[in-house]
Structure 1
């Protein structure tokens, strides 16, 4: 009798140790990034977020980052995460415009986006509010969505009024930004961001649309001194996980990861990846003795630009989305405007 009890007790002890061991077992996740680990965004957002995840999970989760497209090329990231090549990936949603068409509302020109933190907050709240937007990400598990800060006009000559856009050779993205440039009277030019430095230096373009993070990363302050500050447009990004991998994690681990992701994570990434980069540019320019002429477009002039090159493109976007079966496109746009204004 006593031996039976001792055997049962020993069994319980072994089982409890096994459970404790399993609970404490380290979970390793891979993360595919396309940026240099020394860049502003990875240094100020990605790497701190990885530490936040480790702290939130009490050390149970360790994330191994593969930077500079070493694991998955940027244009293949969505497919690679969906297929399980990496557990988590940093995605530029602009690579796949047909994948998340309603989310593209955030990239329309002249939305009242004051900062990347505010834009990121609005994007995540749109995602939470509209099932049709959630459906756009159904193939993967979005941990957070965030936007860039507004693209500035980085130019060799000052641009302060509508008339000064006329004939300006302006590097912008395709789609609505190109239509925006045309409406303002500029000549849109499609050039990859890594080529912008030389294009400005050689006079191939007169100006380029870029957020402060890109100005810092590509040292554009060395070849252009004028910065027209207006919410021309933003890009948006996702940090997404393989759906099957994420769902296989223990519930408490998933909850811990989302405690530093979701809305809080979106705002953190927007602020630290993009908003803080302006100060980085100021410090670098000062250290190199480069002149920075920052010009904040006055409200009256900004309203004029928005009426000409913003609102007509918004309405065209709604018409296009409705034509593709997205009956709530107008509601999505109006909700985005309300979130950004409040």
Structure 2
């Protein structure tokens, strides 16, 4: 909402941004199709959250890739987007006005379990996690149990879930911190970082005068950076809160971090296979390029 208001103010009222909440304009599953068709000119979008879209773009979301934190992870995504035409083509008649990495996902457990330093420590754990990780987590004896966000608190309190592989911001924002006892920080980027932003209809932008196009694009870029900065502040607030509550915060060593990354590596290979089947012959080259950027960013 703040970004839309900023566009209106900077355009002297020539731009008007009308907001629709709670799927009033488009159902969640119709987000990409609706913006592509111009039924909405902009929409919030979590990359890859709707099946069948943005296969090659989702290389940036592969868990266990070792992304070097949120700002650099965002930069790597945009380098790939600008380098490979396939990334842009997947967006069809839309484009990412904002697309940024979310905070890293780390291991948090309640007093119903124990401190988890490495994947082997997860044996018997019932945890929330990105569903993409579920098959690999099961190989170390962990069960992924995901419930709706409104049910998180009770699920943790009753022991249905004993842990969460998630970012600090969720624990702080959803007031879940009091339910936890142990936290394992797995590098700057955690075991994974989802990507979200705002997609916009290309025609809607092209129809605007050049000066208004510039306002839209510049404001989007600015609010992408503001979002990253805000997330980092909230993340630190969550870490500080856990410390104030006397909870144990463990920093995984580089060798321990690598155990997490190794566990999730088969997901990378499966993404390459799936992408090649989808017609992206250069999928492995794109992946290798991303991994080289990640290594250079550390």
1:269 counterpart residue number: 227
1:237 counterpart residue number: 196
Shift of 1:125: 1.7
Q: Say how many residue pairs are matched.
A: 290
1:302 counterpart residue number: 257
SS of structure 2 residue aligned to 1:260 = helix
Residues 170 and 187 of structure 1 are in contact (CA less than 8 Å); yes or no, is this contact kept in structure 2?
yes
Cα distance in 2 for partners of 1:238, 1:282 equals 25
Shift of 1:135: 0.8
RMSD of equivalent CA atoms: 2.5
Q: Which shifted more, 155-164 or 195-204?
A: 155-164
Cα distance in 2 for partners of 1:159, 1:137 equals 39
1:221 counterpart residue number: 177
Cα distance in 2 for partners of 1:126, 1:303 equals 24
2:287 counterpart residue number: 333
1:314 counterpart residue number: 268
Correspondence for 1:125 among 54, 66, 79: 79
Residues 151 and 212 of structure 1 are in contact (CA less than 8 Å); yes or no, is this contact kept in structure 2?
yes
Q: State whether structure 2 residue 7 is matched by structure 1 residue 53.
A: yes
Cα deviation, 1:108-145, whole Å, max 9, x if unaligned, reads: 11112232222222112211111111111113132121
Cα deviation, 1:274-315, whole Å, max 9, x if unaligned, reads: 3222133256668xx6444322211011112222x1323212
Cα distance in 2 for partners of 1:55, 1:338 equals 41
Larger radius of gyration: 1
2:235 counterpart residue number: 278
Of structures 1 and 2, the one with the larger relative CO (CA 8 A, separation 6+) is 2
Residues 88 and 242 of structure 1 are in contact (CA less than 8 Å); yes or no, is this contact kept in structure 2?
yes
Shift of 1:201: 0.9
1:198 counterpart residue number: 154
Q: 1:178 to 1:197 in 2, by over 3 A?
A: same
| TM-score, normalisation: structure 2 | 0.86
Q: Which shifted more, 232-241 or 84-93?
A: 84-93
Give the unaligned 5+ runs of structure 1. 1-45
2:124 counterpart residue number: 167
Shift of 1:56: 4.9
Correspondence for 1:63 among 17, 24, 28: 17
Cα distance in 2 for partners of 1:107, 1:281 equals 23
Cα deviation, 1:21-48, whole Å, max 9, x if unaligned, reads: xxxxxxxxxxxxxxxxxxxxxxxxx52x
1:17 counterpart residue number: none
1:18 counterpart residue number: none
Give the unaligned 5+ runs of structure 2. none
Cα distance in 2 for partners of 1:265, 1:183 equals 40
What aligned pairs does 1:128-207 form with structure 2 within 5 A after superposition?
128-156=82-110, 157-175=114-132, 177-207=133-163
